[in-house]
Amino acid sequence: MADVEEPQVDEQALKQAEEKKKLLQLDEMALMKEMDEDTLQQLLCDIADMDPDNTMLPVGFRQRDQTAKEPTGELSRDKLMNFLEEEGAAVPDKEEEVAYESGTKRGKVFKIPEKIISDNPYADESSGKVELEPEVEKALADATDLELTDLAAVLGLHKMLNNEQLYEAQASGGEMVCTESWKDNTLCKMKTDIIDESFVNETDIEDVMNKIKNNDGSLDDVNLNNLEISTEQLLEVVAAMKSNSTVKYFSIANTRANDEVAKACGEMLADNKSLEVFNCETNFISTNGIIAMIEPLRMNTSLVELRIANQRSKLANKAEENLMNVMEANNSIKKLGYTFSCPGPRHMVGSFITRNVDLARQKRTGKA
């Protein structure tokens, strides 16, 4: 009987298996505790260099900490600006390979592929107009400007006005006046009225104060814009507005109003039940002041326009969310003068304003 050959043992494979077993049995935490700070930092650098695009890590951990440098001193804005200017002047400008020529187009001009146009069943190649159903075409052709205005409000297109339509709407007050057809294109047009740039606000503060306190029916518009008025006088005027029932428009733009005035304005908006337009743009109000001023608007039912833009600082994300929540609770404001930084609150506030405009339309037409 022939002898059976013993299987050959792969010594290299055995050696690799033993090394792998040893590595799997290592206690990583114990090894890291024995390392000093410099070794740990070097290990982090090596890990970052080995896999800098590790998508399994959060974005904030994909790059090692590079802020361990000792501070060189207190921050000086003037020194920083001078350093940046010197650095900018020291770096030579990159020479343009092709000299700039006014009116000359360079590069490939984008053109819509003909296939995309031909595949669109709703496009008319000759005119570029959208084809609608015959019933819809007839309804829009026979619709009046007032009916188109209501339709635009329902669809959230109430802001699609040209300058001339906007000026007419502002000058008409609460009436629906539009001498220019809504069927025209909403192109920008210059205002034809001559603006008097030499206008100076000559409002008599004492006279206005007495009329506000006496609830004078002849006073419905208080315009203190651009006046050199002290904080004490502003606080006195705002306090008098709490019990006034005749003033519809109250404006204190560019009066150097601060957070104290903003807080007083919030108390005024909580008590006043007749004010329709409030403007405090271009002042020194901080985020906390704006929040204190707008919080009472949750229960306000008379204000239809609020302008709070261009303050000392822009509202933070949390504050813009606060403004969004206030607008959600308010059903009367149809115009808001503020530029949002966050897309979420901007979109939601736009939908709330559209809702308020539609509610006003239903109330005006008796369909509420």
- Average confidence (pLDDT) over 273-278: 94
- Lowest-confidence range among 105-119, 133-147, 150-164, 294-308? 150-164
CA 212 to chain centre: 35
- Lowest-confidence range among 98-107, 128-137, 310-319? 128-137
Q: pLDDT at residue 54 above 80? A: no
pLDDT for 258 = 92
- Lowest-confidence range among 10-24, 60-74, 277-291? 60-74
Q: What is the DSSP letter of 307?
A: E
SS3 162: coil
In a domain, 66, yes or no: no
- Average confidence (pLDDT) over 156-177: 54
pTM score: 0.50
In a domain, 277, yes or no: yes
- The domain total for the chain is 1
Contact at 8 Å (CB) between 357 and 339? no
Q: pLDDT at residue 194 above 50? A: no
In a domain, 110, yes or no: no
In a domain, 172, yes or no: no
Q: In the block, which residue shows the tokens 């959600």?
A: 328
pLDDT interval class at 185 (50, 70, 90): very low
SS3 279: strand
pLDDT digits (tens, 9 = 90+) for 206-252: 999 999 999 999 999 999 999 989 999 999 999 999 999 999 999 99
SS3 337: strand
pLDDT for 228 = 87
Q: What is the DSSP string of 205-266?
A: HHHHHHHHHTT-TT--EEE-TT----HHHHHHHHHHHTS-SS--EEE-TTS---HHHHHHHH
In a domain, 330, yes or no: yes
pLDDT digits (tens, 9 = 90+) for 61-94: 666 666 777 877 888 888 889 999 999 899 888 8
In a domain, 171, yes or no: no
In a domain, 238, yes or no: yes
Which residues form the domain of 219?
A: 205-342
pLDDT interval class at 130 (50, 70, 90): low
Residues 208, 262: Cα–Cα separation, whole Å = 20
Residues 208, 202: Cα–Cα separation, whole Å = 11
For residue 161, CA distances in Å to 158, 183, 280, 347 come to: 7, 11, 25, 19
Residues 278, 305: Cα–Cα separation, whole Å = 6
Higher pLDDT: 340 or 133? It is: 340
Q: Which residues touch 336 (CB under 8 Å, ≥6 apart)?
A: 305, 306, 307, 327, 349, 353
In a domain, 224, yes or no: yes
pLDDT for 240 = 94
Q: Which residues touch 291 (CB under 8 Å, ≥6 apart)?
A: 319, 322, 323
Q: Is 212 exposed, middle or buried (0-12, 13-18, 19+ CB in 10 A)?
A: buried
- Average confidence (pLDDT) over 313-320: 80
Give the domain CATH number at 216: 3.80.10.10
pLDDT interval class at 146 (50, 70, 90): low
- Residue 200 in tokens: 């100076």
pLDDT for 195 = 45
- Average confidence (pLDDT) over 125-136: 66
- Average confidence (pLDDT) over 287-308: 92
